[in-house]
Amino acid sequence: MCNLNNLDIEVLKYHKQKGCDYSKSLARALNIKLCEAFEVHKKLLELGYLEKVNSKFTKYKLNNNTKIIKHRNHTYYQLSQKGKQFLKELTS
């Protein structure tokens, strides 16, 4: 398979559920240190499981149903096709 640990997989699942988000929000949600969130985002980006969101505005899920649009003040990440495929294979 690949060299992803449990935290990496949790982050991918988080992005599948929430959509795009930034490291500080991820750290709060998963109760991890901010430096860990930065590192896992960097690792998953380099491995191709995540991609940076390029638009100036972003949509994301607030409580699984409510989507809000806001101006990006941080670097936002979302699942790439590779990340989506990995999660699909993981659950099948």
| Residue-level pLDDT, tens digit, the chain, 92 residues | 468 999 999 999 999 998 888 999 999 999 999 999 999 999 999 999 999 987 666 555 566 666 666 555 678 899 999 999 999 998 88
- 17 located within any domain: yes
Indicate the number of domains in the chain. 1
Whether the predicted model's global pTM rises above the 0.75 cut? yes
CATH code, 53:
1.10.10.10
What is the domain extent for residue 30? 6-91
State the Cα angle at 78 between 47 and 33, rounded to 5°: 75
pLDDT recorded at residue 80: 96
- 1 located within any domain: no
Token pair belonging to 75:
């670097």
Report the run of H or E that residue 79 belongs to, with start and end.
Answer: strand 76-79
- 23 located within any domain: yes
